Amino acid sequence: MGLRADITDKLPRGTGVYILKNSHGKIIYIGKAKDIRSRLASYLSRDTRPYAGHIVSNTESVDFILTRNEKEALLLENQLIKAHKPRFNIELKDDKTYVRIKVTKAADWPGIYITRRMTKDGSHYFGPYSSAQATRKTLSAIGRIFPIRRCKDTVFKNRTRPCMYYQIGICTAPCAGRISRHEYSGLVKDLVSFLEGRNKNLERDLHARMNAESERMNYEAAARIRDQISAIRTTLIPQIIIGNAAADTDVFGTCKHVKGIRITVLHITKGGISDSTNLTVDPGEDEDFMSKTMLQFYLRAPSIPTMIYTDIIPEERPEIEQILTDMRGSKVTIKMALRGRPKQWTSMARDNACQHSSMSESSVLDDIARLLHLSVIPYRMECYDISNIQGSYATASRAVFIAAEPEKSLYRRYRITGITGQDDFAMMEQVLKRRLITDETRPDLIVIDGGKGQLNICVSVLEDLAMSGIPAVAIAKARGTKTDRFFLPGRKDPLVLSRNSRALKVLQRIRDEAHRFAIRYHRHLRTRSETCSLNDVPGIGPKKARAVLMHLSHIQDLTKITQEDLKGCPAINKRDIENIVSHYQADEQV
């Protein structure tokens, strides 16, 4: 029957790789797209390439693997084409497609270089990176923080005076003895830590330098640093598609939905994603569905890897590991990914499982994407809320919905620092920057609890971080009403959704979750502070302090309390009441 509109209409509007299969389940074509649904739909209408008609007529099913950005999609497409060699793809012959950063290890004075070849010489290799130009810019940027030599060994041995790299501040001139071996080794160690993703301070250092140059009105220098930051974000994104690990690995990611549990299994071969499998499980009343799923999956699988990562550990893990070890003939380990690339793989598998889940039912996510004019399905939504009382105990919260359902393990709380007064805009800016500079999976939609001002702050942060592709929306009630209005970037008038809209209910729910989470943390900090303050009152210990705070929970400003407010409070007497009132009145006078 071939590729049809009813197949393409169910595909996601996300970035990733699509896999076309014929009636026998054999892969015939692999491609990448910024919008998978639109790309496949184009095959049915405006694609005039000679082989497009053959692809359409031979395709019976479509699979996909979502990625976080177009660069990862490019790397994954290359990896899958080499692994499966589809009929209609032009097979890539050149293994030197991407560049890597090499840090020599054997030399007494290690150097840093860009290379397209990997050899077993004991050096550290990082990458691959798709843009050689951006990688060279990045090398110059990190060279100012970690000024490691980049000259060839033959040049280094014969040089006695510093070269131009020393003059421009990107080399410490070890050739001329301008730095001790101990200091140099420390620089190399810090550089390797950063390139391995264990150092998150570089961008903050660059931002501080950029701001300092701006304050001195050295705008050209500030612009150069800005470009350096952009180069780092363009090139040194966390590479989860291709790596250097030798052991084969499977990664399980799960997503619950109304019809059961969807599981995506990513197959990692030689450190790179080579394939994926999607499963649907009906757990019934069995809470340990993962044990049976893994056992049944590998009883039918052609091979068993040595390492299995999963976001849900099976209750019968020792037994499953032993069975799989016996089947494979060598040790098999099942682990939960806690950090690094395995955690990123698990997150990617879970996101793909959730996207496949949303395809199997009439999804409210499609409604949200249509009503808010989004280019992708927002299966990961994050909502941010600020909570404070006249600037005191300022906190923020993040609620996360995956496939329109709360994912409380991803909720986060933030303590606002360095901001005085009730500046909600500055607080929102701080929280968003702290969130977005991490290597955590990017959201498909940011929801801000606030109006146009808060939305503009969010848009500004996204532009500064070169993340303008992440859509944002603000939600706020109209004055004097209970009607929620939605503010969109570039739109003058707010959007009002129908009261019966499923999209409205989900967006209100995530806003309420963020608000609840922020208020709870704010109250926790306030209570802890007030408890410490009451402990300073003569005759008041922890138990009396808790009783007083519970009795006064309806009063926002405790410096205004009177003896009448404390009457009827259990566990305290008349002298305690006098001491408490005197304590807060003294604080007010100070």
Contact 361, 257 (CB under 8 A): yes
- CA dist 423 and 433 (Å) reads 16
Burial string for 452-466 (b: 16+ CB within 10 Å, else e) reads eebbbbbbebbebbe
Identify the helix (H) or strand (E) that includes residue 485.
Answer: strand 484-487
Report the predicted TM-score, pTM, of the whole model to 2 decimal places.
0.41
417-425 long-range CB contacts below 8 Å, 24 or more apart?
A: 419/391, 419/394, 420/391, 421/391, 422/388, 422/390, 422/391, 423/391, 424/386, 424/388, 424/450, 424/453, 424/454, 425/453, 425/454, 425/457
Question: Residue 456: which residues within 8 A CB-CB, separation 6 or more?
Answer: none
Fold entry, domain 5-84 = GIY-YIG endonuclease (3.40.1440)
| Residue 153 CB neighbours (<10 A) | 12
Sign of CA dihedral 177, 182, 185, 190: negative
Output the CATH code of domain 364-498: 3.30.420.340
Contact 559, 584 (CB under 8 A): yes
Contact 358, 264 (CB under 8 A): no
Length of the chain: 590
Structural domain boundaries of the chain? 5-84, 99-235, 249-359, 364-498, 535-589
Contact 544, 538 (CB under 8 A): no
- Angstrom distances, CA of residue 493 to CA of 98, 449, 477, 488: 46, 17, 14, 8
Quick one: pLDDT at residue 96? Answer: 45
Rg value, the chain, Cα: 29
Quick one: pLDDT at residue 430? Answer: 92
Quick one: pLDDT at residue 286? Answer: 59
- CA dist 252 and 70 (Å) reads 23
Quick one: pLDDT at residue 334? Answer: 92
User: Helix 289-300 vs helix 317-328: angle between axes, to the nearest 10 degrees?
Assistant: 10
Quick one: pLDDT at residue 414? Answer: 84
- CA dist 134 and 71 (Å) reads 13
Contact 337, 346 (CB under 8 A): yes
Contact 534, 545 (CB under 8 A): yes
Question: Residue 266: which residues within 8 A CB-CB, separation 6 or more?
Answer: 65, 250, 251, 253, 273, 275, 276, 345, 348, 349, 352
Provide the pairing of β-strand 333-335 with 307-310: parallel
Quick one: pLDDT at residue 535? Answer: 62
**Side-chain-side CA neighbours of residue 100 (13 Å):** 21
The architecture of the domain spanning 249-359 is 2-Layer Sandwich (3.30)
Query: Strand, coil or helix: what is 551?
Result: helix
pLDDT (tens digit, 9 = 90+) per residue, 254-295? 887 656 788 888 888 766 677 788 887 776 655 678 888 888
At residue 537, what is the residue type? V
Quick one: pLDDT at residue 432? Answer: 93
Which stretches of the chain score pLDDT less than 70?
A: 1, 46-51, 71, 74-75, 78, 82, 89-98, 106, 127-131, 134, 193, 196-202, 228, 230-247, 257-259, 270-272, 283-287, 357-363, 388-393, 520-536, 549-560, 583-590
pLDDT (tens digit, 9 = 90+) per residue, 23-79? 887 888 888 888 888 888 887 776 666 667 778 888 888 888 888 777 677 667 767
Query: The tokens of 172 are what?
Result: 């410490």
- Angstrom distances, CA of residue 43 to CA of 66, 414, 415: 19, 46, 50
Residue that has been written with the tokens 């390492």 in this structure? 307
Q: CATH class for domain 535-589?
A: mainly alpha
Burial string for 80-99 (b: 16+ CB within 10 Å, else e) reads bbbbbebebbeeeeeeeebb
The torsion angles phi and psi of 144, rounded to 5 degrees, stand at: -80, -20
Sign of CA dihedral 237, 242, 246, 251: positive
Quick one: pLDDT at residue 526? Answer: 57
Quick one: pLDDT at residue 560? Answer: 64
- Domains 249-359 and 364-498 equal at CATH topology level: yes
